[in-house]
Amino acid sequence: MTAPLTLLGIESSCDDTAAAVVRGTQVLSSVVYGQTGLHAAFGGVVPEIAARAHAEKLDHCVEQALHEADLPLLALDGIAVTAGPGLIGGVLSGVMCAKGLSAATGLPLIGVNHLAGHALTPRLTDQLPYPYLMLLVSGGHCQFLIVEGHDRFRRIGGTIDDAPGEAFDKVARLLGLPQPGGPSVEKAALTGDTKRFTFPRPLLNQPGCDMSFSGLKTAILRARDAVVAEKGGLTAQDQSDLSAGFQAAVTDVLAEKTRRALEIYLALNPQTPSFAIAGGVAANGSIRDRLTALCAALDTDFVAPPLRLCTDNAAMIAFAGLEQMAAGARDDLTLSARPRWPLDNRAAPMLGSGKKGAKA
C-alpha cells in the first residue's frame, strides 16, 4: 500500500486566511484567521482590506499550520492553494504565497477550485464514495452539485441572486441583530411565532432547483417598516417573530428544492442514495432538522461535516489538492488566480455576485 500524500493547503478567497496540513483523510492542523472585525463597520467584506489582511497574515498562518502539524515544509508532498473563485486580491495573495513556497522548495503546486474544496469535504470527513448530491449553502454560495469525481461536477440548480447566508446577514442588519446574522437570527427565531408574518417562498411555484432569496429580504424590510410605522420601533418579540417568519421561509425553500434535487439525483444514481451539505448555513438547526427528516423519508444517507470543516478552511483545499495530485494533476508557476471559476462549465452561468464574491 502506498503511503498517503501529505499536503499543505492555503485558502484566502474571501474573509478567512487559512492554512492546513492534511495527510490522506487525517487533518494534522487547520488554522483559520477570520477578518470579521476588520469589515464590521462596512456592512460587507471590503476587497482591498481583505487582500491586505491576507497578505499580512498568510506567512504566520502557514508557519502555525506547519508547527501544529509538527512537520517541516520539506516533509510535505505538495502545496495546494485556492486559485478561485473569489475576491481576486485575496486569491492572488494566496496563489503568490504558494508559488513562493513551491519555487523555494521544489514542491509540486496544485491550484484548487474553492467550491471543489467544499464539495469534496464529505470525502475528507466521512470517506463518502462518489457519486453524491451536495448542497453548498453559505454566505457566498448556494448550489446543488452532483459530485461524480474530484473534477466531475454537475450543477443542477442554485441561487439566481443572494446566497442564503447573505440573506440571513442582511435580515439581521434590518432587525438590529448582531453579525454574523445567521446565528443571531436563529437565536431570535427560537422565541418567535412563525405564523405572525407570512413571507413569500420565492420560485417554489416554478419547476426546477433554482432559488432566489433577495425578494424575501425585501419582504422582511416592508414588514419591519410596517411594524415601526405602527409602534415607533421594534420590540424583542417583533424581532423574534420577523426572524422566525424569515427562517421558516428559507427552510421551506431549501427543503422543497432539496427534495426536487434529490429526485433528479436518485433517478440517475439509485444505487448511491447519499446527500451531503457544506457551508456556514448548514449550522442552522431548523434547516438541518428539515433536511435530516427529508433524507430519512427518502432512505438517503445525510452527511453533515463538522462545522469547522463546513465553513471556509484550508483543510478542504489541501484535501481537494490531494485528490487532484493522486490523479496526476500538477500546476506550475504559470498558475493564475481566477475571480470566476464555475465547477460545471456545461451549466448556465449564475447571475449576480454578492458581497462575498462570485457565486458561480
> What's the min distance (Å) between Cβ of 136 and Zn ion?
8
> What's the min distance (Å) between Cβ of 246 and ligand KG4?
10
Nearer to Zn ion, 312 or 331 (CB): 312
Cα–Cα distance for residue pair 332/232, rounded to 1 Å: 61
> Are 92 and 51 a contacting pair, CB within 8 Å?
yes
> Are 197 and 241 a contacting pair, CB within 8 Å?
yes
> Are 262 and 255 a contacting pair, CB within 8 Å?
no
**Binding test (CB under 5 A) with Zn ion, winner from 15, 312, 323, 331:** 312
Give 180: exposed, middle or buried? Use CB within 10 Å, 0-12, 13-18, 19+: middle
Which string of x and - marks every residue 98-137 that binds ligand KG4 (by CB under 6 A)?
----------------------------------------
Q: Which helix (H) or strand (E) holds 277?
A: strand 274-278
**Judged by CB under 6 A, which stretch of 40-48, 146-154, 160-168, 314-322 contacts ligand KG4?**
160-168
How many residues at the interface with ligand KG4, by CB under 6 A? Answer: 21
Nearer to ligand KG4, 63 or 289 (CB): 289
Q: What single DSSP character describes residue 240?
A: H
**Binding test (CB under 6 A) with ligand KG4, winner from 9, 94, 181, 342:** 181
Q: What single DSSP character describes residue 72?
A: -
245 counts as binding ligand KG4 under rule CB under 6 A: no
Cα–Cα distance for residue pair 283/93, rounded to 1 Å: 29
> Taking CB within 5 to 8 Å according to partner kind, which of Zn ion, ligand KG4, none is near residue 280?
ligand KG4
Angle between the N-to-C axes of helices 285-297 and 181-189, in degrees from 0 to 180, rounded to the nearest 10: 80
Nearer to Zn ion, 27 or 115 (CB): 115
Q: Which residues pair with 134 in a beta bridge?
A: 145, 276
Report phi then psi at 136, rounded to 5: -100, 115
> What's the min distance (Å) between Cβ of 117 and Zn ion?
8
Retrieve residue 307's grid coordinates: 462545522
140 counts as binding ligand KG4 under rule CB under 6 A: yes
**Binding test (CB under 6 A) with ligand KG4, winner from 300, 311, 318, 359:** 311
Q: Which helix (H) or strand (E) holds 175?
A: helix 164-175
Binding site for ligand KG4 (CB under 6 A): 14, 138-140, 165-166, 168-169, 180-183, 186, 279-281, 283-284, 311-312, 356
* Contact positions vs Zn ion (CB under 5 A): 312
